[in-house]
Amino acid sequence: MVRYDAEVRTEAVDFIDEMLDEFIEAMQNEEDYFIDGDIDDRLFESVTDRAYTLSDATFVIENSSNVEEDSGLWEGKDPREALETQAAFTFSNDVRSEIEEIYESIKSEYDEKYSEIYDELGAKHIDEDAYDPFEDAMEAASQFAKEYFQEEYHEKTEIIENAGDKIRMIERYLDLGNHASSWSGYSCGSSYIDSRCGVGYGMPEIHDYVEFDHMIAKAIPDINGKGKSDIRKYLEELKRIY
């Protein structure tokens, strides 16, 4: 089942992954990237400007609490294309809001750690007139902020070791594939939704399969890159020794 809030969070985290160095640099320079940076252009390129089907658009509009209302963005378009455009900007609104929230969280951690380390270093080198803790504190706070983001916002896929758990997960994977049409033909971990099919919100069974396909490839590395016939053989071997 597609969860809208989870999709927004994933897009926001992926965006920050790409922009983290620039975000940290803005913090170091005591700037606000949302004012001084090119956030809107970057957001349009990576999030807003993508294809939506009518069912995708309907899903977004129905689930968002921040629906885009600037009709000038879709003025002159036919009703279907207008709804799809509205959905694209609506989703972008939600992702931007999530990015800002995460950014402020990272910035708060950075500022707090910088002050803490600056004071510690200043006290440690109090007799060294030539020493300025600024650079060292900034570098340490930057590294801390990056680690905080990774720890706090990245979902971790645990490697599955138990044979019984592997069996249950693979059986579910194969069952999902039975309802995923041609998408199940990709080797494990490589399925994707082509842009011609929109973003997948209007195809929940396909969307769920693709998400699970990527997850299980990390959770059970032995089947990563394997086709379904080899995965079934692997499953039978697991059952034999379990």
| Residues 170, 134 share a domain | no
What pLDDT score was predicted for residue 129? 67
Domain count, the chain: 2
> pLDDT digit string (tens) for 174-196?
999 999 989 999 999 999 988 77
Backbone angles phi, psi at 104, to 5 degrees: -65, -35
CB contact burial 23-49 (16+ within 10 A = b; e otherwise) = bbebbbeeeebeeebebeeebeebbbe
121, 153, 185: which is the final residue of a domain?
153
Are 136 and 226 members of one domain? Answer: no
| pLDDT tens digits, 118-133 | 998 878 876 666 778 8
- Model-wide pTM > 0.85: no
Does any domain span residue 158?
no
Residue numbers of the domain that contains 76: 4-153
In the predicted model, what is the mean pLDDT of the chain? 92
Show which of 102, 133, 153 is a domain's final residue. 153
What would the two tokens of residue 32 be? Answer: 């606000």
Across 20-29, 108-117, 130-139, 170-179, least confident range: 130-139
pLDDT tens for 144-162 read: 999 999 999 998 889 999 9
Question: Does the pLDDT value for residue 37 go beyond 80?
Answer: no
- Residues 40 and 143 reside in one and the same domain: yes
In a domain, 145, yes or no: yes
